[in-house]
Amino acid sequence: MLKNYFKIAIAVLMRRKFFTFLSLFGISFTITILMVMTAFIDKVVNDNYPDKKRDRSLYISRMELRGKESMNSSGLSYYYIDHYISKMKTPVKVAISSGFGSTNTYVNNRKIVINYKYANAAFWEVLDFDFIEGKPFSKQQEDNAERVTVISEDMKKEYFGDDDTPAVGKYIEADDIKYRVCGVVKSLPITSYLLYADIFLPITTSKTRLDADKGYMGNYNAIVLAKTSADVPKMKKEYDGIVAKLPIPGKEWDHLYSHADSYIEGYVRTGNETRSGMVYAITAITLFALFIMLLPTLNLVNVNITRIMERSSEIGVRKAFGASSKTLVYQFLVENLILTFLGGTIGVVLSLVVMYFINQARLIANLNLGLNFTVLGYTILTCIIFGLLSGVYPAWRMSKLNVVTALKA
Amino acid sequence: MFKHLFKMIWNKKKQNSLLIVEILLSFLVIFAVFSFALNSYNNYAKPMGFNYNHVWAISYNHTLETNNPDSVTLVYQNLLRDIKSMPLVVDAGYASSNIPFSNNHMSTGLTSNGIEVHNVNNFFMDENYLDVMGAKMLAGRWYNKADRASTTKILVINKMLKEKVFGKAEAVGKTFGDKAEDKRKIIGVIDDIKTDGDYQSPTYGLYNLQDTAAYKWMGKILVKVAPQADAAFEGKLYKLMAGRLKKSNIEIEHLDNKLVAYNKFTLVPLIILSIVAAFLIINVALGIFGVLWYNINKRRGEIGLRRAVGAPGSSVSAQLVSEAIILATLSLIIGAFFAIQFPLLNVFDLPAGVYLVAMLLAVIFIYLLVLICSLYPGKQASAILPAVALHEE
Distance from CA of A161 to the nearest CA of B (A): 18
Taking an 8 Å cut-off on Cβ atoms, the answer to whether B284 and A292 are in contact is no
Q: What local confidence, expressed as pLDDT, does residue A130 receive?
A: 93
Tell me what pLDDT residue B124 has: 92
**What is the average per-residue pLDDT within A13-36?**
82
Mutation target among A117, A298, A386 for the B interface, most CBs of B within 10 A: A298
Query: Of B257, B286, B288, B292, which to mutate for an interface test with A (greatest number of A Cβ within 10 Å)?
Result: B286
| A296 and A26 Cβ atoms separated by less than 8 Å | yes
B199 half-sphere exposure, CB direction, 13 A CA radius = 19
Q: How confident is the model at residue A399 (pLDDT cuts 50, 70, 90)?
A: confident
Q: How far apart (Å, rounded) are the C-alpha atoms in residues A139 and A124? A: 10
What confidence tier does A275 reach under pLDDT thresholds 50, 70, 90?
Answer: low
Q: Write down the pTM of the prediction.
A: 0.78
pLDDT under 70: residue ranges of chain B = 15, 392-393
Cβ of A111 and B235 within 8 Å? yes
Distances (CA, A) of B322 to A360, B1, B286, B292, B318: 48, 11, 18, 12, 6
Contact A106 B235 (CB under 8 A): yes
Task: Flag the least confident range among A11-20, A129-138, A348-357.
Answer: A11-20
Q: Do B287 and A22 touch (CB under 8 A)?
A: yes
Give the pLDDT confidence score for residue B196 in this predicted structure: 87
Q: Choose the mutation target among B19, B22, B59, B393 for the interface with A, i.e. most A CBs under 10 Å.
A: B22
SS3 state at B22: helix
Mutation target for A interface from B216, B247, B249, B276: give the one with most A CBs within 10 A: B249
Chain A residues whose C-beta is within 8 A of a chain B C-beta are 18-19, 22, 25-26, 29-30, 33, 101-104, 106, 109-111, 113, 175-176, 207-208, 292, 294-296, 298-299, 301-303, 305-306, 309
- Using an 8 Å CB-CB cutoff, list chain A residues near B25: 294-295, 298
Chain A residue numbers touching B231 (CB-CB < 8 A): 106, 109-111
* Exposed e or buried b per residue across A237-252, where buried means at least 16 C-beta atoms within 10 angstroms of its C-beta: ebbeeebeeeeeeeee
**Distance in Å, alpha carbon of B202 to nearest chain A alpha carbon:** 25
pLDDT at residue number A96: 95
Helix, strand, coil % over all residues of chain B, rounded to 5: 60, 15, 25
A101 contacts in chain B (CB < 8 Å)? 249, 251
Helices (H) and strands (E) in chain B, counts: 13, 11
Nearby residues of A275 by Cβ (< 8 Å), 6 or more positions away? none
Tell whether the model's pLDDT for residue A389 goes beyond 70.
Answer: yes
Residue of B nearest to A37 (CA): B272
From the list A29, A104, A306, the residue facing B291 with the nearest CB is A306
B249/A175 CB distance under 8 A: yes
Burial A53-70 (b: 16+ CB within 10 A, else e): beebbbbbbbbbbbeeee
- Across the interface, whether the CB atoms of A299 and B280 are under 8 A apart is answered no
Nearest neighbour of A208 by CB, restricted to B63, B284, B298: B63
The minimum CA-CA distance between B142 and chain A, rounded to whole Å, is: 33
Higher pLDDT, A371 or B202: B202
For residue A208, the chain B residues in CB contact (below 8 A) are 61, 63, 247
More confident residue, A172 or A285: A172
Interface test with B, best of A20, A72, A106 (most B CBs within 10 A): A106
**Would you say A343 and A15 are in contact if contact means Cβ atoms under 8 Å apart?**
no
List the single best residue of A299, A398, A400, A408 to mutate versus B (max B Cβ within 10 A): A299
Rounded to whole angstroms, the Cα distance separating B252 from B58 reads 4
Distance from CA of A309 to the nearest CA of B (A): 10
Q: Is B54 helix (H, G, I), strand (E, B) or coil?
A: coil
- The answer to whether the CB atoms of B251 and A301 lie below 8 A apart is no
Q: How far apart are CA A236 and CA B327, in angstroms?
A: 59
Residues in B whose CB is inside 8 Å of some CB of A read 15, 18-19, 21-22, 25-26, 61, 63, 230-232, 234-235, 238-239, 242-243, 247-252, 276, 279-280, 282-284, 286-287, 289-291, 293-294, 298
CA distance A385 to A342: 14
Helix, strand and coil content of chain A, in percent to the nearest 5, comes to 50, 20, 30
> How close B361 comes to chain A (CA, Å)?
21
Contact A302 B283 (CB under 8 A): no
pLDDT in tens, A289-302: 887 788 788 888 87
Contact A207 B238 (CB under 8 A): no
Cα distance between residue A390 and residue A290, in whole Å? 14
Whole-number percent of chain A with pLDDT over 70:
98
A409 has pLDDT over 60: no
In B, which residues are within 8 Å of A102 by CB distance? Answer: 251
Partner residue facing A109 (CB), from B231, B242, B283 = B231
CA nearest to A347, candidates A378, A390, A303? A378
Q: Per the CB < 8 Å rule, is A302 touching B63? A: no
Mean pLDDT of A127-148: 94
d(CA B172, CA A9): 79
Q: Do residue A26 and residue B283 have CB atoms under 8 angstroms apart?
A: yes
Q: pLDDT-derived band of residue A146, with 50, 70 and 90 as boundaries?
A: very high
**CB B290 to CB A302 under 8 A?**
yes
- The tens digit of pLDDT for each residue in A65-80 reads 888 777 788 889 999 9
Q: Residue A225's pLDDT is what?
A: 94
Would you state the pLDDT for residue A367? 78
C-alpha A87: how far from its chain's center? 32
Most distant CA atoms of chain A, gap in Å: 94
Q: Packing angle between helix A312-320 and helix A325-361, nearest 10 degrees?
A: 140
Mutate: best of B27, B30, B238, partner A, most A CBs <10 A: B238
Please check whether residue A121 is in contact with residue A95, taking contact to mean a CB–CB distance below 8 angstroms: no
Long-range contacts (CB closer than 8 Å, 24 or more residues apart) made by B272-276: B273/B32, B273/B33, B273/B36, B274/B33, B274/B37, B276/A33, B276/A292, B276/B29
Please tell me whether residue A144 adopts helix, strand or coil conformation. Answer: coil
Q: Check residue B63 and give its pLDDT.
A: 82
Contact between B22 and A102 using a beta-carbon 8 Å cutoff: no
Q: What is the pLDDT of residue A297?
A: 82
pLDDT of residue A270: 66
- Per DSSP (E only), the strands in chain B are 55-59, 89-95, 107-112, 115-125, 137-140, 154-158, 175-176, 184-190, 205-209, 220-225, 251-254
Contact residues, chain B, for A113 at CB < 8 Å: 251
CA of B294: which chain A residue's CA is closest? A306
Higher-pLDDT residue of A46, A54: A54
**Looking at CA atoms only, how far is residue A177 from chain B in angstroms?**
10
The candidate with the shortest Cα–Cα distance to A372, out of A46, A32, A50, is A46
Between A and B, how many residue pairs show a Cβ–Cβ distance under 8 A?
Answer: 95
Cross-chain CB nearest to A208 (options B243, B247, B252): B247
Structure confidence by residue, pLDDT tens digits, A150-203: 999 999 999 998 888 899 999 999 888 899 999 999 998 888 888 999 999 999
Question: Nearest by CB to A109, which of B19, B232, B280?
Answer: B232
Strand partners, B188: B140, B156
Mean pLDDT of A225-252: 91
Q: Cβ B290–A208 below 8 Å, yes or no?
A: no
A274 pLDDT more than 70: no
pLDDT at residue A148 is higher than 80:
yes
Over residues B168-219, the pLDDT tens digits come to 889 898 988 888 777 899 999 999 999 888 888 888 999 999 888 888 888 8
CA distance A296 to B177: 56
Gap between the terminal Cα atoms of chain B = 26
